[in-house]
């Protein structure tokens, strides 16, 4: 797999496709837990399903296309925080300090 540029507004970053694929999959797993999937969530999840199958450094998270208002943005940010809190600390790779019982 290659690397893809994730963009939202004026900001963006490069990431390995495997990392982006894992993150989008984790987000979709969390979205599936909601009782009522709004149309925008269904569309976004379908977009991500297609992107996960893409190879060669041209994946698109679709943030500019799907995060069209503050309510949608806030909803996805809230879901992202839940997903991040559920991630294995070793998988975060953010440099965040992790407390251990040892």
Q: What is the pLDDT of residue 18?
A: 87
Q: What is the pLDDT of residue 86?
A: 79
Record the pTM.
0.80
User: Using an 8 Å Cβ cutoff, are 5 and 14 in contact?
Assistant: yes
In a domain, 47, yes or no: yes
Residue 3's DSSP bridge partners are 16
In a domain, 95, yes or no: no
Q: Helix H segments across the chain?
A: 17-32, 39-53, 63-66, 70-86, 89-92
Question: Domain residues for 84?
Answer: 3-88
Q: What is the pLDDT of residue 90?
A: 53
Q: What is the pLDDT of residue 1?
A: 64
Instruction: Classify residue 94 by its DSSP letter.
Output: S
In a domain, 45, yes or no: yes
In a domain, 96, yes or no: no
Q: What is the pLDDT of residue 97?
A: 46
Q: What is the pLDDT of residue 85?
A: 83
Label residues 34-66 b or e (16+ Cβ within 10 Å = b): eeeeeebbeebbebbeebbebeeeebbbbbeeb
In a domain, 40, yes or no: yes
In a domain, 97, yes or no: no
How many domains does the chain fold into?
Answer: 1
With a cut of 70, which residues of the chain have pLDDT below it?
1, 55, 88-102
User: Using an 8 Å Cβ cutoff, are 89 and 98 in contact?
Assistant: yes
In a domain, 99, yes or no: no
């Amino acid at each position: 797999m290659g690397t893809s540029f994730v963009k939202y507004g004026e900001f963006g970053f490069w990431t390995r496709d495997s990392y982006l694929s894992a993150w989008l999959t984790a987000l979709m797993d969390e979205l599936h837990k909601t009782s009522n999937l709004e149309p925008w969530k269904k569309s976004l999840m379908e977009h991500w399903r297609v992107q996960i199958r893409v190879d060669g450094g041209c994946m698109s998270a679709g943030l500019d296309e799907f995060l069209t208002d503050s309510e949608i943005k806030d909803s996805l940010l809230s879901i992202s925080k839940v997903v991040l809190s559920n991630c294995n600390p070793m998988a975060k790779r953010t440099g965040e300090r992790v407390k251990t019982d040892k």
